[in-house]
Chains A and B, each alone.
Chain A
Amino acid sequence: MNKYILYPGCSMESSARAYMESMNAILEPLDIHFEEIDDWNCCGATEYLGINLIPAYSLIARNLALAAKQKNGTRTVVAPCSACYLNLAKADHYMQERPSLGAKVNEALAAGGLQYTPGTLDVRHLIDILVNDIGLDAIRNAVVRPLKGLKVVPYMGCMLPRPDYKNRWSDHEHPTELDDLLRALGADVIDYPLTTECCGGHMTQIGPETAFELIMRLVADADDRGAHLMATVCPMCQMNIDAYQNEMNHFFGTDYHMPILFFTQLMGLAFGREPDELGIGTELVSSRNALANIGVEVPVTQEPSAPRKKDEGLPMPRRWTKQEGKKEAVK
């Protein structure tokens, strides 16, 4: 049995529920056991670090301290969310690189009766343990419904392969872990040069125009390459490309329809699970047509009953009218 400590992260409980469900569905066939960190807290995403340094690192380190206390037989903490993975790894790394930071953070932790020695834990991402611990052979053996004929674009996102403090990934720019895994599931994997480009991160919230541009680049290139759908490893990427695709289309006057699923959802399908066990159908850009290519029928879920009528509502506030200027700048 492969035992790990799990740090799920906030989005796994809400916006990325499908990720959680599908992840749980593949644990058993691969003989993986996760033990959740008791009373874990938010990692602070990319927001906390920009406010105040020591509290931000203390917030992250509380999770590490709890995990270290809890470790029984394993020192590996698995984070399925790229942002959580990066934050946990970053705190562990910088507390070591800058001993004065480590000391201050521990001073804060002590106020809550906790302590963490950096380097105690191995922080790893879900796909890392699947590819490197469980192995592609084991995954291949568990496949009962190969995804043959499904053209998938592997989308790794940015925070997973970078900055890569512990040299875990095959490459910072064009890593192959996700490609290899999807290939093991039998999918037709498309070489996607933008695999580690950014989805816009929190810019969908604070500077949507910037984010729309980034989403556009990803979706347009995937579409150009004839992809049926995109596969991702990160809740934030999924959220931005899925939930904001319609907005993005509206902003640019385009009409893309590029579904994006978590890689675990595709694993679940390949392992013979049914779509509704894997949270398929909770995506806003439906994967129904895409999955029809491999003969998977996604039951029709209730579509939002208030679909936008394009002419309704108020016009988009155009804070920056440099749409043209923007094109100028990137020449």
Chain B
Amino acid sequence: MSEIKQERVGVYVCHCGSNIAGVVDVVDVANWAAEKLKHQGVVIAREYKFMCSSLGQELIEKDIKELGLTRVVVAACSPHLHEKTFRTAAKNAGLNPYLVELASIREQVSWVHTDKAVATEKSKAVVSGAVSRVIENVPLEELKVPINPNTLVVGGGIAGIQAALEIANAGFHVYLVEREPSIGGHMAQFDKTFPTLDCSACILTPRMVEAGTHPNITLLTWSEVEKVTGFVGNFNVTIRKKARCVKEELCTGCGICEEKCPKKVIDDVFEAGLGYRKAVYTPFAQAVPKYPVIDKANCTYFLKGTCKACEKFCPTGAIDFNQQDELVNVEVGNIILATGYDLFDARRVSNYGYGRLPNVFTSLEFERLSNAAGPTNGNIVLRDGKTTPKSVGIIHCVGSRDKNFNNYCSVICCMQGLKFAHLVHERTGATVYNFYIDMRTAYKAYDEFYQRVLEEGTLFVRGKVAEVTDAGRNEREKGKLIIQVEDTLAGKQRRIPVDMVILSSGLQPRADAKEVGKLFGISCSTDGWFTEKHPKLDPVATMTEGIYIAGCAQGPKDIPSSVAQGAAASARVLDKILQKEVALEPVRASVDQEMCSGCRICNGLCPFNAISFLEDRMVTEINPALCQGCGTCVAACPAGAISGTGFSNEQILAQIDGLLLRNIEPVEA
């Protein structure tokens, strides 16, 4: 309307079988468009049973060629479904694909309204809006960006290890960054894995060694990512390699330093607080890499200035107290985040007494307790370190499925509870109770394991435990931990005295997940898990191109799922690497420097640092490679100097006018 130029527009109204035609009078819509939008440049309007079928597409292609259409509007389903289809059709007919607009009259009209007259009228408005808009569309080209073949994997748990190995085995380089001194993650702490009862270390260690020795993997343990700049294909990452105080090139991993170190520290990380380590340590025997680290916060030398026992005894002179943190810069094309989870802090459920009642244990504590390499050599005993329990209660859903704590199911706790029940039964012969709200044993061979545990004689009580107390009311209860619960299947409150309580604590996002998300430019759900691009169809990609997620960082999951996601993320990365370049939607903002007044209002608005100010010329510039196309700066520019392709002011204003056309120039219905 705004300009004299006359485009030749084709309008195509889809019946979608009866999906649209059942509610919208599609013939009327097409006729109306042909007649009433003629002044806009509509030269042809057709309706057809299935526009997305090959015949429907051919119809459009034919019209483009024969009628010389310069713009196309397809009134059908949501653009998220078939925009690509019709753009490709236009391209095949020699028309720039960005000159096609979809008018959603299925999701937004026929499926949500019932009155045929009203629905038909709304469809006309939607078509009118699309016609007005498409006239303002301009031909665009996809942006092509080269892809750096290196990949960064953050987190050395099983998901990260899997992802790194897949990419490395395909022949591309991987930087694997791990915060702790060794890779292995939570899986390295476990004794057995459900439902097969494989020894966790036996199946994990070979993978760790492979990752540690792979020529295509650069292992950066005791390291954290500090800064990320760039965009898909071209990230620049700064990694802080914390001072180990051990020269890796000299250290043989003999372990003498650890043996001689006089300082014992409670190991809150690997031993879950249930055991000790030294101030110079490798977290566990099979650690990869084998080099220890000196824990500066606890080392006597760093605290008091004397000791140096490790240095004295080191046969290769590998100890270096003066070592400083090192900043490493790497260039990568893609990033996989596999940063894992934190265990829910069971002390928050004060009615379960963890931290107050000695013989209440968390799941991770129990893992260490039952682990042959753990503090008790695998003997399941009470906190006194010697008494074997005669009865054990395992409480499910601790901190999960509870609006007071985490309002989601932690997925693994049921199976974990069953695994514990089996281990307790097998090793101590104790009576075992499982307290559950619902048994969730979905997936292959899981329910069979449940049945096996039932067969072993574990007692199941359906009810969320109300409290664990040491206030016994009678001789039977005194000196025991009493689990008070409603047995909901019996409809009675029960008090069950036991010697030991294990809390099947839930999983929760890493405490710093929000900051890490910000660092990499991805978002977290309200619960704090990293948000995937699509919960079903794209679970390992994120809304930020080039950043992928895998394992528990995306949400609670078990080992098989974590491994699957690690592999899936690496497949996505390999796909990108092999394409050598990536095509980006050409929705970008740009500054007309003639019009820019240099007011800098837009400068602070971009979270992707795409906007920079050219001091010498006093104008603002936008880096199209960094720009993600949100359009916030376009909306903010008081001079109208910034325009956004695909969603320009002209397009949107025209669409507004088009949508309201029927209000301005009433057309007899």
Contacts and interface: CB of A to CB of B under 8 A. Distances in A.
Complex contact flag A–B (Cβ < 8 Å)? yes
Contacts of A172: 350
A310 interface: no
A329 B350 contact: no
B494 A331 contact: yes
Contact of B473 (A173, A329, A330): A330
B479 to A, nearest CB: 11
A172 B404 CA distance: 12
Given A329-B493, A331-B495, A220 B350 contact: no
A273 interface: no
A6 to B, nearest CB: 31
B473 A217 contact: yes
A329 B493 CA distance: 7
B471 A193 contact: yes
B414 to A, nearest CB: 25
A173 B495 CA distance: 18
Contacts of B493: 329-330
| B471, B474, B495 interface centre (most CB from chain A within 10 Å) | B471
Contacts of B471: 193-194, 217, 221
B356 A329 contact: no
Contacts, number: 25
A174 B356 contact: yes
Contacts of A173: 350-351, 467
Given A173-B350, A173-B351, A329 B469 contact: no
A217 B473 CA distance: 7
A297 interface: no
A193 B469 contact: yes
A330 B350 contact: no
B398 to A, nearest CB: 14
Interface string A178-218: 00000000000000011000000000000000000000010
B470 interface: yes
A241 to B, nearest CB: 16
Interface string A219-254: 011000000000000000000000000000000000
A104 B513 CA distance: 45
Interface in A282-331: 327, 329-331
Contacts of B473: 217, 220, 330
Contacts of B476: 331
Contacts of B469: 193
Contacts of A327: 474
A193 B470 CA distance: 7
A193 to B, nearest CB: 5
Nearest to A170: B350
A284 to B, nearest CB: 25
Interface string A245-280: 000000000000000000000000000000000000
A171 interface: yes
A66 to B, nearest CB: 35
Interface residues of B, number: 14
Interface string B478-494: 00000000000000111
Interface residues of A, number: 13
A169 to B, nearest CB: 11
Contacts of A193: 469-471
The DSSP consensus for interface residues of chain A is loop
Interface in A31-78: none
Interface string B359-382: 000000000000000000000000
| A221, A327, A330 interface centre (most CB from chain B within 10 Å) | A330
A174 B473 CA distance: 19
Contacts of A329: 492-493
Nearest to B494: A331
Contacts of A331: 476, 494-495
B495 A171 contact: no
A193 B492 CA distance: 23
Contacts of A217: 471, 473
Contact of A330 (B351, B470, B495): B495
Contacts of A194: 471
B503 to A, nearest CB: 15
A197 to B, nearest CB: 8
| A172, A220, A331 interface centre (most CB from chain B within 10 Å) | A331
Nearest to B478: A224
A139 B499 CA distance: 41
Interface in B452-482: 467, 469-471, 473-474, 476
A5 to B, nearest CB: 32
A186 to B, nearest CB: 24
A330 B351 CA distance: 19
| A171, A193, A327 interface centre (most CB from chain B within 10 Å) | A193
A178 to B, nearest CB: 15
A221 B477 CA distance: 12
Contacts of A330: 473, 493-495
Contacts of B350: 171-174
Interface in B325-366: 350-351, 356
Interface in B397-420: none
A194 B495 CA distance: 15
A190 B610 CA distance: 62
Contacts of A174: 350, 356
Contacts of A220: 473
A172 B470 CA distance: 17
A295 B492 CA distance: 48
A327 B351 CA distance: 23
B242 to A, nearest CB: 36
A329 B494 CA distance: 7
Contacts of B356: 174
A241 B467 CA distance: 23
| B467, B470, B473 interface centre (most CB from chain A within 10 Å) | B473
A329 B486 CA distance: 11
Nearest to A174: B350
Nearest to B473: A217
A325 to B, nearest CB: 12
B33 to A, nearest CB: 47
A221 B472 CA distance: 8
Interface string A117-155: 000000000000000000000000000000000000000
Contacts of B495: 330-331
Given A174-B350, A220-B473, A327-B474, 8 more contacts: A173-B350, A173-B467, A217-B471, A329-B493, A330-B473, A330-B493, A330-B495, A331-B476
Closest 3 pairs between A and B when the two form their complex, measured CB to CB: A173-B350, A193-B471, A173-B351
24 contacts: A171-B350, A172-B350, A173-B350, A173-B351, A173-B467, A174-B350, A174-B356, A193-B469, A193-B470, A193-B471, A194-B471, A217-B471, A217-B473, A220-B473, A221-B471, A327-B474, A329-B492, A329-B493, A330-B473, A330-B493, A330-B494, A330-B495, A331-B476, A331-B495
